[in-house]
A = this chain, B = another copy of it.
Amino acid sequence: MCPSTAETSRNHLGPMINWSSDLSDLLLGIPDRSSTIPVFTHRSVKRGQRLIHGGQEFESLYLVNAGWFKSVYVDESGNEQVMGFAARGDLLGADGIGAGYYLNEVVALGVGDVLVVPFASRGDFSSLRPGLETSLLQLISRQLVHDQLAMMAINTMTAPARIARFLLAQGDRSASVGCSANCFELAMSRQEIASYLGMTIETVSRTLTKFSQRDLIQVAQRQIDILDHAGLQGLASPDSASTGSDIPG
């Protein structure tokens, strides 16, 4: 009923990218196949721990094995802006490849485990396992596309549409991790959702309440149950001017 990761994104906004990528298989699956490369090390992090410090010199990529992470951009005034969330199969630290230093802070939203892909020097991929460089490039491209679509959706659609889209995406990710697509627990706070979606925490809260009143979802703190999957999809696609019209309060 819910399209998890069966159909990869074709030319529309609907489903997310195919998360079970080649790189995941390559890194998370195979123990040792080539010669020169040591088995990649894992690194465990606790809730709230920073995996990557912004401004720090680029040294490694991280492939998320378990847990949720947020990447945060901190500007010169100290304002924090959530740039994205990452779960199993997502790559972290790719923003450091080009500049030589990381741009974003990466913080664990809960207990997490990542796979460390170390680099001898900035952009030196010759030390990588053959074939991994290509997979890496593909994964980065996929994330680029995904981020682009997400960002575009954010500054095109209305607040309810953004929330609906976000919830559906979270459900998809939840399904890809093994849990249900319609019943999952958000790893991030309202504040983090609001920052990511470019709105205020009050609007997030109000919209979730509104969705709940319409029986689109069921909300209990961070526990989300999607009751009307198609209804949310309908809100996520167009401008969705029909959001707060018929329900008074």
Residues of A within 8 A of B (CB): 8-13, 17, 54-55, 73-77, 81, 83, 94-99, 103, 123-126, 133-145, 147-149, 151-152, 154-156, 198, 237-238
Contact = CB atoms under 8 A, between A and B. Distances in A.
Contact of A238 (B77, B99, B237): B77
Contacts of A81: 152, 156
B134 A98 contact: no
Given A11-B54, A156-B81, A156-B198, A134 B145 contact: no
27 contacts: A11-B55, A11-B74, A11-B76, A12-B75, A12-B76, A17-B99, A73-B149, A76-B237, A83-B148, A95-B144, A95-B148, A98-B142, A98-B143, A99-B141, A99-B142, A123-B134, A123-B135, A123-B138, A124-B134, A126-B134, A133-B133, A133-B137, A137-B140, A140-B141, A140-B144, A148-B151, A155-B155
A134 B144 contact: no
A94 B152 contact: no
A165 to B, nearest CB: 13
Contacts of A99: 8-9, 17, 141-142, 145
Given A8-B99, A17-B98, A134-B123, A144 B147 contact: yes
B11 A145 contact: no
Contacts of A73: 148-149, 152
Nearest to A94: B141
Contacts of A74: 11
A197 to B, nearest CB: 8
Nearest to A150: B151
Contact of A141 (B98, B134, B147, B152): B98
A75 B137 contact: no
Contacts of A198: 155-156
A185 B12 CA distance: 33
